[in-house]
Every structure is written in C-alpha cells, then in structure tokens.
Amino acid sequence: MADQKRDYYEVLGLKKGASEADIKKAFKTLARKYHPDLHPGDAEAEAKFKEINEAYGVLSDSDKKARYDQFGHAGVDPSYGGGDGGFGGFSGFSGDVGDIFDSIFGGFGGFGGFGGGRSTASNVNAPRQGGDISVNITLTFMEACHGTKKDIDITHMVKCPQCSGTGADSNTVKQTCTECNGQGSVKVNQRTPFGVISSSKVCSKCGGKGQIITNPCSKCRGAGRVRKTDKINITIPAGINEGQTMRLAGKGDAGINGGSAGDLYAEIRVKSHDLFTRKGNDIYCDVPLTYMQAALGDEITIPTIDGNISYTIPEGTQSGTKFQLRGKGVKAVNRDSHGDQYFTVTVEVPKKLNKKQRELLKAFDDSLDEKNHSRKDSFLNRLKKKLDN
C-alpha cells in the first residue's frame, strides 16, 4: 500500500472549498518560504517544497481539483491506496485517472466532472507562460500613506543570453526525434478493466520538445533559460495598506517555447508608527491635554500624516473626547479621495503637588458648584434616587 499522503488542502494551510485566489496566494507564500534556493542542502525544505508543488498542481487545475474533492488522492493518483481504495481496479497504472476517463467518456462531454478542457501531452511543444514569482516589500508607515519608489532585487528565470532561449549552441544540428517523430508525445496502451486504452505521454527521449539537440548550449545546458538576479524599480501608490498585493505583469519567469513571461506579485508589509494607527483610510491618534487646557480650552498642535495643524479645544473638554478632522486621513489608492483623522484627548491629572499647589487647588474646588460638574451632579442624583427606591 502506498504511503499515506497529507490532505492537499492541509498542505497549503487551507480548508476544503478554498477559492482559486486563496489557493494561489497560499502556494506563493509557502513556495517562497521553502524554495530550495533559499535552503541549499536542506532535505526537509526540499521535501516540503515538492509536497507544496504537488498539492498546488492538483488544486490549481479545475478538473483535477474536482476529482480530488470527490475521490481524494485516488481521484488524481490511480496508484494511490493499492487495491484497497475506491479506485482499486486502476491500481498499478502509470496513467492519470483523468486520462482514462477522458479516453472513455471524453466524446460525450465528460463524465463525473472529469471531461473537457484538460491539457494533454500532445501540446507540450506549445508556448508556455513562465511561472509567477512573489516578493515581500516592507514600507514605513509614512511611505505607505504617501507612496514611494523602491528598488528591489528579484531572482527569476530569464531567456538564456547565449542561445537566445533555443537551448542549443550556434553550431548545433537539430534532429527530429525518432521516438515521437517530432510530435513531442507518444501513444501508450494501457490494459484496464474496460479494455485496452490508448493515451498520450510526453516523449522521454526528447522531453516533449520533438527535436534532439546534438550540442546543447553550454550556459543553460539546453534548458533555454537561466536564473538571474535583477534590480527593478517599483512605484508604490499612495494609500497602499498592509497585506495588499501589487501585480507587475511580465516580471516573473521567462516563458518556455516562446511563451510570455509570468508576473511578479509584491506583497506589502507596513511598519507600525509611534503616534498613528490606521484603519482603512482613517488615521487615529491620542493627544494629551493639561488640566487647565481641558478646563479653559486652548489652541493646541495636532500631528497629522501631512504635518502639524492647529486646533482649538473647547472649554470644558472631557478626557476621552474624540474629535474628527475631515479629509486628513490616507488617500485612497488610485482615487481622488481621502479618509479622515480622529484624535482622542486624554486629560493629564497633575501629580506631586506641593503644599501651596494643594491649597490653591482645594480653594478652587471649594469655589465650584453643581453647574461646574454636570456629570457628577447627574450621577449623584441618579444614585440618590436608586437608594431612595
């Protein structure tokens, strides 16, 4: 019996039914974390990377995902579970279960979610888009609010400069593969409970290219692509926030067989600020007031993300009062609108009073009446009524 595999959703840290976007995002995060280039010689990281790729290869393909959701691993790996699983009759076959069902039911528009739209070995020679890559970009709080430009280093696959992506030296002779006659795929017959079924497989002799290169390029060893680190400049728009992702088209890995390049996804991280916090496009901060400022009112300085402004605090302001500054928040990304800023005042009670200060404060308190303590008076009245009842 085959070794038990982990659930593919569990591998990517997702729940069954996750959306295509969630699957893609989870894969990028984990692939970046365990990429072999970042962990040279780490067998455990390499194994995790392979497991992540295997899970993504199934869940990112709508047909395979449908089979997996219905039948589990047996739906995408006919050798899984030996003769004991729900697809035990197919155990031992090297072909994909979907290939078998497509061969039988494909002409009838598919069966059980298996049919239609699947790529086969016959199109391996077609141009293929390069893979997407992702990076993290860390911004200061103010850089995120106002926008900035960042130079970052990315490592991606680029077209080999020596062979221009052909994979062959200039003096090479390309020969049509005799195994597949230039098709890139070969027919394989499989004996199943339904009879002998023919399916297409990638030609092992030419690797699906249809041609044999007699003298592979010495730089890329026939791959047509090489890994390179480039420095690129990214313009960060004003108002971008923690966790948002920017897409830069064509900045990912170079394509294969003349295909277009993949994309670069830059995930934004934002550092915290000493004074401000942010919720959406609104800014929040706390402002301290002295006892006298709160009692008498005062014109005070309020910090904003665009600089300090003056604001008049009214007489009798209570600690915890929140004020709103319209339009003083963060600019919405790619829109001509701004959030607001809210600041909450905190009245600081004086400490370590000397004798004279205590006497003055006591005299001041004795001079006050109920008009000066509306909240206290209201509280005492409510308390008295409660006790009387």
pLDDT at 99: 42
Beta strands in the chain (DSSP E): 133-139, 148-159, 174-176, 185-192, 195-202, 211-213, 225-236, 245-248, 264-270, 277-279, 282-290, 298-304, 307-313, 322-325, 341-348
What whole-number distance in Å separates Cα of residue 6 and Cα of residue 76? Answer: 14
Q: pLDDT tens for residues 261-314?
A: 999 999 999 999 999 999 999 999 999 999 899 999 999 999 999 999 999 999
Q: Is this structure's pTM higher than 0.85?
A: no
- Pairing label, strands 307-313, 298-304: antiparallel
The region of weakest confidence among 60-74, 108-122, 142-156, 256-270 is 108-122
Here the tokens at position 101 are 């069902």
Largest CA distance in the chain: 108
| Half-sphere exposure in the Cβ direction for 332 (13 Å, CA) | 7
Q: pLDDT tens for residues 105-114?
A: 333 333 333 3
Higher pLDDT, 107 or 135: 135
